[in-house]
Amino acid sequence: MNCGEIRMIVKLPYGKKHLEWNVDPCRIKAILQTKTSALETTDSEIEVVAKALANPYCSATLGELAKDKKNIVIISSDHTRPVPSHIIMPLLLAEINKANPTAEVTILVATGFHRRSSDSELRAKYGDEIVERVNIHIHDSQNDEMADFGLLPSGGKLLVNRIAADADLLIAEGFIEPHLFAGFSGGRKSVLPGIVSYKTVLANHCSKFIASPNARAGILDGNLMHQDMLFAAKNTRLAFIVNVVLDANKRLVKAFAGDPEIAHNAGCSFVRDIARVDSEPADIVVATNGGYPLDQNVYQAIKGMTAAEATVNDGGVIIMVSECIDGHGAHEFFNMLDRAAEPKELLLDILSRDMHETVPEQWQAQILARVLAKATVIMVTKAPRTMIESMHMRWADSIEDALSMAEKIIDRDDYQITVVPDGVSVIVEE
């Protein structure tokens, strides 16, 4: 058969389901995805975490650390992260309780700059029993009492939630994946930006740091943001972490526990090996944010967009498939794009700002403006069309409509398409 006469089905994560895209395979230059075979395991999710807890990296076990502590705080990711806390948290609490049944335990939800988690989101994350039995505090970066830990290497103030600062033992759960400017999620990010003051976040997320070529997915060496985050974790006395790796179905398949820096580095090395892919430059790149919960809003969708940015040709088109049932996700982020005459103007304005002139959500606007300076972005989304267009992107209600729009923009017959089925999970190296 000739090209155009045969079709292939590409499944794209979208919300809690998938979109099935019927496409001409002759148009597909490459499909960039992680090495899923490295994630296979015969252990149950509980067994994976239990084995990691029993064999921590360069640390005593959690039970040994908890023995003589009165006030134990567990930093936990919020509703925007797919961390399987319903599996991890019961194991952490059981080990602490076995070693020290009289200890007071608080779960500190690391919202960073995000909105508060709702009661239903907490119950979905931890289960009813934990929500009703354990003290849970949702971090508020603007209103919670903060402890002053001095200056970060960048010069910003390190102001940390008092609940964490007063802990006899501070531990954290989380997960490791490529991160668009911190290199990788997990580890030290539980502290900064997780449980620090908004003032600390603003200093760390300044335009100079975001603009650095080392502030990219998969890069820790020379990453100034990472250096600040590591300093914050050490000085807040983060003592123990449990970080997990998830497969494409959000199943927990690997865990790393122990010393916050050493265990996290081991996890990052593992993820880097399975996530690194070579760029396959194309005129059109189709990407997603990996589905729910990371595609709840446009703010989060920028993560997957940066994977597409790394492989789209200059002047090309990115088709971003992201449900965005919560809309834009951040008011100031939206307002900055909405007020801008065009993305390049916004980018120049942000780049002119000093660290102490950083405003909330500026970093995500900076990255989106950078992407838009390189390529046209068409969003396949449930977010309102007017909202998307106000942010200098184009809107489509199906992947087929988006491709038709992209073809008109490219205006050439020999175009090719690179597909990134989960833009959050890959490290695209140019």
Could you list the active site residues? 114, 179
CA dihedral 61, 67, 70, 73 (to 10 degrees): 10
CA distance 180 to 32: 16
- Only one residue has tokens 């038709």, namely 404
Q: Is the peptide bond between 193 and the residue preceding it cis, with omega within 30 degrees of 0?
A: yes
Task: Give the count of beta carbons closer than 10 Å to the beta carbon of residue 374.
Answer: 17
Query: The tokens of 232 are what?
Result: 């914050």
The conformation of residue 25, written as its DSSP 8-state character, comes to G
Peptide bond before residue 293 is cis, with ω within 30 degrees of 0: yes
The secondary structure of 284-311 as a DSSP string is EEEEE--STTTTSSHHHHHHHHHHHHTT
Distances (CA, A) of 351 to 71, 143, 346, 419: 43, 29, 9, 31
CB 59 within 8 A of CB 72: no
Dihedral pair phi/psi, residue 243, rounded to 5°? -120, 140
Structure tokens that stand for 358 in this block: 């950083």
Residues 6+ apart with CB under 8 A from 326: 296, 297
Q: What share of the chain is helix, strand, coil (3-state, %, to 5)?
A: 40, 25, 35
Strand 178-179 and strand 183-184: the pairing is antiparallel
Q: Three-state SS for 121?
A: helix
Give the separation between CA 346 and CA 60, rounded to whole angstroms.
49
Q: Is 267 exposed, middle or buried (0-12, 13-18, 19+ CB in 10 A)?
A: buried
Place of tokens 């975001």: 210
Short-list 19, 131, 86, CA closest to 379: 19
